[in-house]
Structure formats: C-alpha cells, structure tokens
C-alpha cells in the first residue's frame, strides 16, 4: 500500500513538473525574444552561438529519444518527435543565419550611405531570431506534452 501511494505521489509530482516546465518554457521564450529585440543594435555574437549550440543539442536529444521504440510504444509518437527534432534543427540554423546578419551589420555599421540597409537588416535579424526562438519553443512544448502522454502510459511502473 505504501509503495503504491508513493508511486502515485511521484507520478503526480512528475505531471505537475511537466506542466510547470511548459509555463517556464513560455516565459523563457518571451524573455529571449525581448533580449533579441534589445540585442538588435548591440551585435552580441556570443548569444547566437550559444543559442545555436543549445538548439542543436536539444535536436540531438529529440532524435535520440525518438529512437527508443520500446519506450515510445507508437510509430506515430516516434514520427512526431522526429518532426519536432527537425523544427529544433531548423531553429538552430536560423540562429546561424542571425549570426550572419550580425556579421554583415558589423561591416556596414559606419557607412552612412548604407544606413537604410543597416536598419532593414536589423529588422530581418530580429525577425529571424524571434522565429528561431518560437520554433524551438513550439518543439519543446510539444515534446513535453508527448513525454507527459508517454509517462501516463506507464501507470503500473513504480518510481
């Protein structure tokens, strides 16, 4: 009885934690978009390299998770997680494009004849950065929903 009660509390805690993680994910995405907006005129290349690395690692995790057929129990879930990994990979490469825009902005910053191009590229940089963050947020959110569904399938497993 005590073991079953403990397992029940553990699973409820896990489900609550996954729901809280989704809320924190949205808060982190909004914060990153605000940072992206503020960063448009500061050209912080390290931020883009860090985001690329993080997004690429998350993509790798999602691909590796989709390879566990015994845990996933469904070809549909495996396919869904693989597509989410492609979203993460796309977000990682969008961050590299964003870094390229930063490098271009550094080249044309002092040229007064190209000031209109400078502001246009700044706008594109913010758009690509925000798109990458939104794609990653979507991918992680859907992954957390899938993980919660998978954990729900293991009702008899004690923790």
- Distance (Å, rounded) from C-alpha 4 to C-alpha 157? 10
Residues 6+ apart with CB under 8 A from 57: none
Is residue 81 included in any domain, yes or no? yes
Q: Which residues contact 56 (CB under 8 A, 6 or more apart)?
A: 88, 89, 92
Asked if 33 and 130 count as a contact pair (C-beta separation under 8 A), the reply is yes
Q: Give CA–CA dist 131/117, Å, rounded.
A: 21
- Mean pLDDT across 55-82: 88
Residue 116 structural domain: 2-153
Q: What is the residue-wise DSSP string for 85-98? A: HHHHHHHHHHHHHH
Query: CA–CA separation, 129 vs 119, rounded Å?
Result: 15
Is residue 158, in this structure, part of any structural domain at all?
A: no
Tell me the pLDDT tens digit for each residue of 86-135.
Answer: 999 999 999 889 888 888 887 887 777 888 888 888 888 889 989 999 99
Q: How many domains does the chain have?
A: 1
3-state helix, strand, coil in the chain (%, to 5): 90, 0, 10
Q: Other CB atoms closer than 10 Å to residue 150's CB: what's the count?
A: 17
User: Within a domain: residue 120?
Assistant: yes
* 8 or 142, which is more confident: 142
Distance CA 62, CA 42 (A): 32
List pLDDT tens digits, range 46-61.
778 888 889 999 999 9
* Structural domain includes residue 116: yes
Read off the pLDDT of each residue in 25-38 and give the average, rounded to a whole number.
83
Query: Residue 54: exposed, middle, or buried by beta-carbon count in 10 A (0-12, 13-18, 19+)?
Result: middle
Look at residue 159 and tell me if it is in a domain: no
């Amino acid at each position: 009885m005590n073991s079953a009660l403990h397992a029940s509390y553990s699973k409820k805690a896990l489900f609550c934690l996954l729901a809280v993680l989704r809320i924190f994910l949205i808060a982190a995405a909004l914060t990153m978009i605000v940072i992206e907006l503020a960063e448009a005129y500061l050209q912080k290349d390290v931020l883009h390299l860090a985001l690329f690395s993080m997004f690429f690692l998350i993509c790798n995790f999602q691909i590796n998770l989709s390879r566990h057929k015994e845990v996933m129990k469904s070809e549909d879930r495996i396919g869904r997680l693989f597509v989410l990994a492609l979203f993460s990979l796309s977000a990682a490469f969008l961050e590299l494009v964003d870094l390229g825009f930063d490098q271009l902005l550094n080249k044309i910053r002092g040229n007064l004849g190209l000031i209109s191009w400078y502001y246009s590229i700044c706008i594109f940089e913010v758009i690509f950065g925000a798109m990458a963050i939104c794609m990653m947020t979507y991918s992680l959110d859907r992954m957390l929903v899938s993980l919660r569904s998978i954990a729900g399938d293991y009702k008899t497993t004690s923790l």
